[in-house]
Amino acid sequence: MKVLVIGSGGREHALAWKSSQDDAVTKVFVCPGNAGTALEEKLENISLDLNNFKEIADFCKNENIALVIIGPEQPLVMGMTDFLQANDISTFGPSEAAAQLEGSKTFSKDFFIKYGIPTASYAAFDSYNKALMYLDEIEFPAVVKADGLAAGKGVIICNTKNDAVSALDSIFKDQAFGEAGSSVVIEDFLEGEEASFIAVVSKDKIIPLATSQDHKAVGEGDVGLNTGGMGAYSPAPIVDEKIHQKIIDEVMTPTMHGLISEGSPYLGFLYAGLMIKDGEIKVLEFNCRFGDPETQPILLRLKSSLVELCLAAINDDLESHKIEWTEKHSCGVVIASQGYPESYESNKLVSLPNNDGGEIKLFHAGTKLSSNNEVLTSGGRVFCATALGDNLKEAQAKAYNLVDQVSFEGAFYRKDIGFKGIK
For residues 230 and 403, which CB has a smaller minimum distance to ligand AMP in the complex?
A: 230
Residues 216-250 as b/e (b if ≥16 CB within 10 A, e otherwise) read: bbbeeebeeebbbbbbbbbbbebbeeebeebbeeb
82 binds ligand AMP (CB under 6 A): no
- Spatial distance between the Cα atoms of 60 and 41, rounded to a whole number of angstroms: 20
Number of neighbouring beta carbons within 10 Å of residue 262: 14
CB 153, min distance to ligand GLY, A: 11
216 binds ligand AMP (CB under 6 A): yes
Using alpha carbons, list the distances in angstroms from residue 114 to 51, 248, 271: 33, 18, 19
- Spatial distance between the Cα atoms of 415 and 137, rounded to a whole number of angstroms: 40
CB 394, min distance to ligand GLY, A: 23
- Of 12, 73, 82, 187, which one interacts with ligand AMP (CB under 6 A)? 187
Q: Which residue ranges make up the site for ligand GLY (CB under 6 A)? A: 152, 214, 228-229, 287, 291-292, 294
Interacting partner of 147 out of ligand AMP, ligand GLY, none (Cβ under 5 to 8 A depending on kind): none
CB 26, min distance to ligand AMP, A: 38
CB 37, min distance to ligand AMP, A: 27
Q: Which residues make beta-bridge pairs with 15?
A: none
SS3 325: strand
Q: Is 218 left (phi over 0), alpha (psi -120 to 50) or beta?
A: alpha
209 binds ligand AMP (CB under 6 A): no
165 binds ligand AMP (CB under 6 A): no
CB 203, min distance to ligand GLY, A: 24
CA proximity to 229, closest of 296, 168, 144: 296
> 380-399 mask for ligand AMP (x: CB under 6 A)?
--------------------
140 binds ligand AMP (CB under 6 A): no
For residues 342 and 390, which CB has a smaller minimum distance to ligand AMP in the complex?
A: 342
SS3 404: coil
CA proximity to 157, closest of 142, 170, 171: 142
Count of residues touching ligand AMP (by CB under 6 A): 15
Interacting partner of 287 out of ligand GLY, ligand AMP, none (Cβ under 5 to 8 A depending on kind): ligand GLY
- Of 80, 131, 190, 283, which one interacts with ligand AMP (CB under 6 A)? 190
CA proximity to 194, closest of 73, 269, 291, 277: 277
143 binds ligand AMP (CB under 6 A): yes
For residues 7 and 265, which CB has a smaller minimum distance to ligand GLY in the complex?
A: 7
Contact of 216 with 153, CB cutoff 8 Å: no
Residue number closest to ligand GLY, CB atom = 229
- Spatial distance between the Cα atoms of 111 and 259, rounded to a whole number of angstroms: 9
> 223-242 mask for ligand AMP (x: CB under 6 A)?
---x----------------
Contact of 360 with 340, CB cutoff 8 Å: no
194 binds ligand AMP (CB under 6 A): yes
Residues 39-48 as b/e (b if ≥16 CB within 10 A, e otherwise) read: ebeebebeeb
For residues 6 and 65, which CB has a smaller minimum distance to ligand GLY in the complex?
A: 6
Interacting partner of 294 out of ligand AMP, ligand GLY, none (Cβ under 5 to 8 A depending on kind): ligand GLY
Window 105-134: residues binding ligand AMP (CB under 6 A): 120
CB 73, min distance to ligand GLY, A: 8
CB 102, min distance to ligand GLY, A: 9
Q: Which stretch binds ligand AMP (CB under 6 A): 73-81, 189-197, 356-364, 377-385?
A: 189-197
Using alpha carbons, list the distances in angstroms from residue 266 to 68, 246, 297, 338, 384: 16, 20, 24, 38, 29
Write the DSSP assignment of 217-283 as a string of letters: EEETTTEEEE-S-SEEEES-TTS-HHHHHHHIIIIIHHHHHHHHHTT---EEEEEEEEEEETTEEEE
CB 188, min distance to ligand AMP, A: 6
For residues 159 and 347, which CB has a smaller minimum distance to ligand AMP in the complex?
A: 159
SS3 381: strand
What are the residues binding ligand AMP (CB under 6 A)? Answer: 120, 143, 145, 155, 157, 187-190, 194, 216, 226, 273, 284-285
